[in-house]
Amino acid sequence: MDTTASCSLPDAWPEPVVPVQSLSEAGVSAVPPEYIKPPQDRPVLPAPILDVPTVDIAAFLDLDGAAAAAADEQLKNLAEAYSKHGFFQVVNHGVQASTVERMRGAWRRFFALEMEEKEACSNSPAAPEGYGSRAGVEKGALLDWGDYYFLNILPSEIKRRIKWPKSPHDLREITEDYGRDLMNLCEVLLKAISLSLGLGENQLHAAFGSDDCIAACMRVNYYPKCPQPELTLGISSHSDAGGIAVLLADDRVKGTQVRKGDTWYTVQPIPNAFLVNVGDQIQIISNDKYKSVEHRAVASSDDARFTVAFFCNPSGNLPIGPAAQLVSSLSPALYTPIIFDEYRRYSRRRGLQGKSQLEAMKNSKVH
């Protein structure tokens, strides 16, 4: 994969950005042409429902005595879920329901603000933090039926530069509380994934940069009502470029879909659970033992939909490649190590295109 062209991103989007929420609230009766997907990419609605495997993360919080046996059982569940599906729903995760509801409420209030207030926080390709409505910088690219707010959470030097909205007044405090709890959950997940791969308990944590350098970001998604959901997507098919993604699904409207073979399935969320999937960097480190899952979001004509995606990622300046213990003469390395920031910029430049960016990297030389 030649990343030479991805070393920098432009300062401005190639066309004026129109918030999707403004189209929906204006009462458009048809999806504008720039949002209409090719026939092969359009969703079949309704899609079959997929019951997602569950993992009880509480088993990893206390490994003494009888709890160790429970942890072994959950490690098997986790390994099976990731090797067969690429994702699972985590229960007993330790994040208080009140923290989740405050997070939902604060960001729903943000998206209910006047458009001028939201657009004051607009992002750009070179500065992705803030309010936005598109991914990728190709001129004339088809767009998705959704708006979002993107935030970098960690490391600490990035955290100090977060672009916070001025309103709601308590949004920052609520989001920081939620972010701390999700990061604690991801620390437990990193250990569990590492053990399930047969690696040392802290190996993935170290590969990601350890305490001072490990990265985290968050994307709050708002998918407005759509007049023709069968023609478009809330977010196009993609795998996550980073390490672990933890999704807080909408508590009222289903819309997350995952691909298994040639079929797209709608995920049935479990109350008080998070949907967890591995990203491309875990697939690389595991040398394809675990696969990042291809997923997307569909739009709805009945109601708006709201989700929060939290990403635990490697430090941007670290090379990521297959773990030495998972490489042998029978299982050669499938990837050449690449600096994570280079991979992420490459993905942002191309936009959301399934798993094509990861496939392009497999067994290729990085320039």
Is residue 3 included in any domain, yes or no? no
Q: Quick one: pLDDT at residue 69?
A: 63
Q: How crowded is the C-beta side of 198, counted as CA atoms within 13 Å?
A: 9
What total of structural domains would you count in the chain?
1
Q: Quick one: pLDDT at residue 65?
A: 46
Compute the distance between CA of residue 203 and CA of residue 23 in angstroms, rounded to an integer.
47
Is residue 18 included in any domain, yes or no? no
Q: What is the pTM of this model?
A: 0.92
SS (H, E, C) 274-318: EEEEECHHHHHHCCCCCCCCCEEECCCCCCCEEEEEEEEECCCCC
Is residue 150 included in any domain, yes or no? yes
pLDDT by residue (tens digit) across 307-338? 999 999 999 999 999 999 999 999 999 999 99
What CATH number does the domain containing 332 carry?
Answer: 2.60.120.330
Is residue 207 included in any domain, yes or no? yes
Compute the distance between CA of residue 88 and CA of residue 84 in angstroms, rounded to an integer.
10
Compute the distance between CA of residue 330 and CA of residue 144 in angstroms, rounded to an integer.
42
Q: Quick one: pLDDT at residue 2?
A: 41
Compute the distance between CA of residue 157 and CA of residue 222 in angstroms, rounded to an integer.
28
User: Average pLDDT of 3-23?
Assistant: 78
Q: Is the pLDDT of residue 64 over 70?
A: no
DSSP category for residue 34: G
Is residue 20 included in any domain, yes or no? no
Element (H, E) at 148: strand 147-154
Mean predicted lDDT score pLDDT of the chain: 89
Share above pLDDT 70 across residues of the chain, in percent, rounded to a whole number: 91
Compute the distance between CA of residue 195 and CA of residue 187 in angstroms, rounded to an integer.
13
Q: Quick one: pLDDT at residue 62?
A: 61
Q: Report the DSSP beta bridge partners of residue 309.
A: 219, 247
pLDDT by residue (tens digit) across 121-178? 999 888 889 999 988 778 888 999 999 999 999 987 776 678 899 999 999 999 999 9
Is residue 352 included in any domain, yes or no? yes
pLDDT by residue (tens digit) across 344-357? 887 776 666 667 67
Maximum Cα–Cα distance across the chain: 61
Is residue 11 included in any domain, yes or no? no
Q: Quick one: pLDDT at residue 4?
A: 39
pLDDT by residue (tens digit) across 243-276? 999 999 999 999 999 999 899 999 999 999 999 9
Whose CA is closest to 285, among 328, 238, 326, 331?
326
Compute the distance between CA of residue 131 and CA of residue 226 in angstroms, rounded to an integer.
20
Q: How is residue 327 written in tokens? A: 């490489």
Residues 123, 125, 128, 133: what is their CA dihedral angle, to the nearest 10 degrees? 60
Q: Quick one: pLDDT at residue 127?
A: 87
Instruction: Say how many C-beta atoms besides its own lie within 10 A of residue 109's C-beta.
Output: 14
Q: Quick one: pLDDT at residue 362?
A: 74
Q: Find the domain containing 132 and state its range.
A: 29-361
Is residue 124 included in any domain, yes or no? yes
Q: Quick one: pLDDT at residue 24?
A: 98
Instruction: Say how many C-beta atoms besides its own lie within 10 A of residue 166's C-beta.
Output: 11
Cis before 53 (ω within 30): no
Burial class (CB in 10 A: 0-12, 13-18, 19+), 274: buried
